[in-house]
Structure 1
Amino acid sequence: MELQPFALYATILIVTITLLKLSRRGRRRDLPPGPRPWPIIGNLNLMGSLPHRSIDALSKKYGHIMYLKFGSCPVFVGSSVAAAKFFLKTHDLSFVSRPRTAAGRYTTYNYSDITWSPYGAYWRQARKMCLTELFSARRLDSFEYIRVEELRRLLRDLFASSSSTVVLKDFLTTLSLNVISRMVLGKNYLQAEEGAVVTPEEFKTMLDELFFLNGVINVGDWIPSVRLLDLQGYVKRMKVLSRKFDRFLEHVVDEHNARRAAEGEGFVAKDMVDVLLQLADDPGLEIKLSRNGVKAFSQDMIAGGTESSAVTVEWALAELLRRPEILAKATEELDRVVGRERWVEERDMHNLPYIESIVKETMRLHPVAPMLVPRMSREDTSFEGYHLPAGSLVLVNVWTIGRDPEVWPQPDQFRPEQFVGRDIDVKGQDFELLPFGSGRRMCPGYNLGLKLIQASLANLLHGFEWRLPEGTTKEGLNMEEVFGLSTPKKEPLEVVVEPRLPAHMYVM
């Protein structure tokens, strides 16, 4: 019997819809497990104020490879050593790009820095400049005297504050800013002086804002239809912040160019901005480094070098104040290896395995970037039978990996001993511990960060006795964090210090 036209069209429509549904189900079954997304917003409703903890809770339910949706964007989350190795090493080149976020656009001169620039010729050139010019071992060694001078200044300032309650983060941030300012900019631009472009307090606030805005989940990034509305007000804040940084960096570049012009052929690069300006003049570069590129790189180095060391040392001392027996072991090692008549030097660190273990354990429990900087997949791949399509956001939750009971016995306890004699490093090859990331997108300045963290912590422990202020107990110490591109303590650590070395050691 022949079908009437209407019945024929209806049959074709039903068959087509059925095939589409089956096709979608088939594709969905190829994806990793994950919570069912809501229309329009996807799984953004499941992200709390601490997204790494929200995702950690979800991974306990759905597994170490998980599928989410941020708005219309597919997201894959790796929360195990195997997943981290897949994303960051085995298929590193497939996941080497970055998402095009508002933070990258507005706070890094339209993706002109090393962190947010997409994969391509410009980023490859930027990475090469970092590895061979800006963060080479030779250049870092040449700046050791700066790190020593500024660390001694910190120890002297803390000595002057003995027996009184101090906010430790203020001292640590000042140390890091002074070191990075002198290495990158050639002088301490952040000293309080008449006519300064920004005050030290303003600059610290700008850095806090930069890290916060680069780590937030901005709804407009993932739901394009509401992008112009700026529902959370983040884009407005990004634009304000970018103008403040640009005013400061314009001043820096102008001063450096003026010195170059004044010295003429006798000019010698003294800092990293000088090196960047020389590279900008190099006709052999594949992609010309613009003035905005110089400013973006400078901002990247200032921010990255400051935040990682200050945050990590603060977390380390907070943990040690909760575990006096570990603090006692650390000072015993320092007295035995270094003695009480000199300060710890960078070359001492390989003889201080327990101090190194404390640093590693702090990075395990309190990684500065708990989900690293997000990546974007450039091509289709598959992992454990799951299909991972191109154009997906990729997150590696190193916070969860650092608490994996299959890797770390008693994962929620602070136990530096587990690193003593254990061949696990932080340089991107041991996927149990990835504070600086791994692969092509690993933090290029990790060696500098590690030097600052280790030397700062060792000398602080060597030079002072530490205790909590009256009325604060180790059990009551707040260990909550604030989420952003970095994850500092929610409540800054307040401490009381007493000198433990001869008085003449603090007169420098």
Structure 2
Amino acid sequence: MEFVIIALGLFSSCALIGIISTVFGIGKPKNLPPGPAPLPIIGNLHLLGDHPHQSLANLAKIYGPVMFLKLGRTTALVISSAAAAKEVLQKQDLAFSSRHIPDALNAHNHSHYSTVWLPVSTQWRTLRKILNTNIFTGNSLDTNQHLRRKKVQELVAYCRKAGACKDPVDIGRAAFRTTLNLLSNTIFSIDLTDPYEDSGKEFKELVGNIMVEAGKPNLVDFFPLLKKIDPQGIKRRMTHYFGKIFEISEELIEERLVMNGSKHEDVLDVCLKLSQENPDEINRAHIKSLFLDLFAAGTDTTSNSLEWAMTEVLRNPHIMTKAKHELEEVIGKGKIVEESDILKLPYLWCIVKETLRIHPPVPLLIPRKIHSEVKLNGFIVPKGTQVLVNVWAIGRDSTTWDDSLMFKPERFLTSSLDVQGRDFELIPFGAGRRICPGLPLAIRMLPVMLGTLINNFDWNIDGGLRDKNIDMSEKFGITLQKANPLCVVPIPID
């Protein structure tokens, strides 16, 4: 891999000291978790590959669900079982609650203001409270339900227009546009892209690039002495991407200040009011970073999950048939799924849960870091170790799941396991105090959009490919994208 080759070419005196220390056991902690023997200089970097979630899952089969790696000058703990995840995310949640911050996320000092990357603190609690109170509580979501219905109607209208021309729909891009406008209406009371056109491509690529760069193995994270060099240019590109989103937010903030508020108080109004009342807890930099978090994480994860769900349903015609039958029986053919319908559509919800099991939106969750030595399952984890929870591996663990690699929604018809962070066999949104705050919105939007697309259209795969030939390759980043988009032609159901 590129970063391994560069690492070998950037050998430093500090690395030499590290080799000597390793060879002679100087300062080596006792009773570390098991893991592969590290090579000089690069440690275990060569084992990560282009799809680290898969590589780490395979290594865990050899070394166990609590695995220790040496990555350049840093150390990492990889968690690959439900039991170990429960220990980290619930029983010792506070000890593991800090973040390991990739160097790329320091672009524009974003990590200093972001609710995703801030440590548990007063500022972090203030920002989480804003999210929980104004966007993701049950009452707030109920109040904004009409917005989500309107955006789903616009998605259907766009698909009908494409179907009339026999044009393929890029499912991921269409879902991204829908989610982007939903969030932008909640935050700014405006659409950021035309809901009836195939627009928003630039913004989707911008967010996708952010997720890929943030998840890409970066030499600077493994050899901190290289920060000033930025040999792969990751932080330079991230600075550009963040800057473009901050420019959009800045323009909208300035417009709002001139208008002195919106007709209907939205999240921007609330944030500006709070920043005037208590600028020490939240200022403009916090506000812009909050919006970056919402747009980057909220749009990408939802659109990716919907695209994977549609892909799996199209690959499995019997699942499509069962889903269509349930939808026709419960709400009627050709109707839009309402949020109040979700509980009456158990098979549809099973499809969503099975998608999140086998294609978790964030395969390694957001990385954590411990600031003090921790004892875990009888092992000693050294101070400063980053912690990766491989939910992709947990969701495919054959000791937990029968036919773990098969897409079988039926498995959840008789299972009480859910995605709310209480069942550690299925934690696509994480668990504990750092669980994804957008979970309540995601579990409303995903079944509504998926069910509506299934219930309103039949689908032809672009290019006449057979179901079994649908590309399933992954593009690894912080989020798990399809390497090649799902493009299908909608056929409206009369």
TM-score normalized with structure 2 length? 0.91
Distance 1:201 1:160 in 2: 18
**Stretch deviating more after TM superposition (316-325 or 112-121):** 112-121
Q: Secondary structure at the match of 2:468?
A: coil
Q: Does 1:362 align with 2:355?
A: yes
Distance 2:192 2:168 in 1: 28
Partner of 1:273: 268
Q: Secondary structure at the match of 2:475?
A: coil
Partner of 1:9: none
Q: 1:347-496 alignment to 2 at 5 Å?
A: 347-496=340-489
Q: Does 1:160 align with 2:155?
A: no
Post-superposition offset of 1:389: 2.2
Q: Does 1:217 align with 2:212?
A: no
Distance 2:25 2:76 in 1: 22
User: Any conservation in 1 of the 2:304–2:481 contact (CA below 8 Å)?
Assistant: yes
Q: Does 1:182 align with 2:185?
A: yes
**What runs of 5+ residues in structure 2 fail to find an aligned partner?**
1-19
Partner of 1:10: none
Distance 1:174 1:103 in 2: 26
Distance 1:352 1:82 in 2: 31
| Counterpart among 298, 318, 328 of residue 335 in structure 1 | 328
Partner of 2:138: 137
- Compared CA separation, residues 45 and 407, structure 1 to 2 (3 A): same
Distance 2:38 2:57 in 1: 17
Distance 2:478 2:446 in 1: 18
Post-superposition offset of 1:208: 1.1
Partner of 2:13: none
Distance 1:394 1:342 in 2: 45
Distance 2:56 2:457 in 1: 39
Partner of 1:258: 258
TM-superposition CA deviations, 1:202-241 (whole Å, max 9, x none)? 2222111111122122110220122222111111101211
User: Any conservation in 1 of the 2:334–2:456 contact (CA below 8 Å)?
Assistant: no
User: Any conservation in 1 of the 2:181–2:191 contact (CA below 8 Å)?
Assistant: yes
Q: Secondary structure at the match of 2:484?
A: coil
TM-superposition CA deviations, 1:75-102 (whole Å, max 9, x none)? 1000000111011101000010112322
Partner of 2:237: 237
Post-superposition offset of 1:132: 2.7
Distance 2:194 2:157 in 1: 17
Distance 1:235 1:469 in 2: 37
Percent of pairs with identical residues: 35
- Compared CA separation, residues 471 and 22, structure 1 to 2 (3 A): closer
TM-superposition CA deviations, 1:186-210 (whole Å, max 9, x none)? 1013349xxxxxx833222211111
Distance 1:485 1:258 in 2: 37
Distance 2:447 2:244 in 1: 32
Q: Which amino acid aligns with 1:270?
A: E
**Stretch deviating more after TM superposition (104-113 or 155-164):** 104-113
User: Any conservation in 1 of the 2:66–2:77 contact (CA below 8 Å)?
Assistant: yes
Distance 2:355 2:108 in 1: 29
TM-superposition CA deviations, 1:415-468 (whole Å, max 9, x none)? 000001311111101101111110111111111112111110010111011232
**Stretch deviating more after TM superposition (334-343 or 74-83):** 334-343
Partner of 2:8: none
Q: 1:288-367 alignment to 2 at 5 Å?
A: 288-340=281-333, 342-367=335-360
Post-superposition offset of 1:249: 1.2
Q: Does 1:61 align with 2:56?
A: no
Q: Which amino acid aligns with 1:258?
A: V
User: Any conservation in 1 of the 2:309–2:355 contact (CA below 8 Å)?
Assistant: yes
User: Any conservation in 2 of the 1:41–1:223 contact (CA below 8 Å)?
Assistant: no
Q: Which amino acid aligns with 2:222?
A: W
User: Any conservation in 1 of the 2:103–2:221 contact (CA below 8 Å)?
Assistant: yes
Partner of 2:149: 148
User: Any conservation in 2 of the 1:40–1:223 contact (CA below 8 Å)?
Assistant: no
- Compared CA separation, residues 146 and 37, structure 1 to 2 (3 A): same
Partner of 1:33: 34
Q: Secondary structure at the match of 1:232?
A: coil
Q: Does 1:101 align with 2:102?
A: yes
**Stretch deviating more after TM superposition (319-328 or 240-249):** 240-249
Q: Secondary structure at the match of 1:447?
A: helix
Post-superposition offset of 1:247: 1.4
Q: Secondary structure at the match of 1:40?
A: coil
User: Any conservation in 2 of the 1:211–1:486 contact (CA below 8 Å)?
Assistant: yes
User: Any conservation in 2 of the 1:112–1:293 contact (CA below 8 Å)?
Assistant: yes
**Stretch deviating more after TM superposition (160-169 or 441-450):** 160-169
User: Any conservation in 2 of the 1:381–1:387 contact (CA below 8 Å)?
Assistant: yes
Distance 2:40 2:268 in 1: 48
User: Any conservation in 2 of the 1:108–1:296 contact (CA below 8 Å)?
Assistant: no
Distance 2:170 2:310 in 1: 12
Q: 1:6-21 alignment to 2 at 5 Å?
A: none
Distance 1:40 1:134 in 2: 46
Distance 2:85 2:109 in 1: 27
Larger Rg: 1
Task: Give me the CA root mean square deviation.
Answer: 2.1
TM-score normalized with structure 1 length? 0.88
Distance 1:325 1:341 in 2: 19
User: Any conservation in 2 of the 1:305–1:448 contact (CA below 8 Å)?
Assistant: no
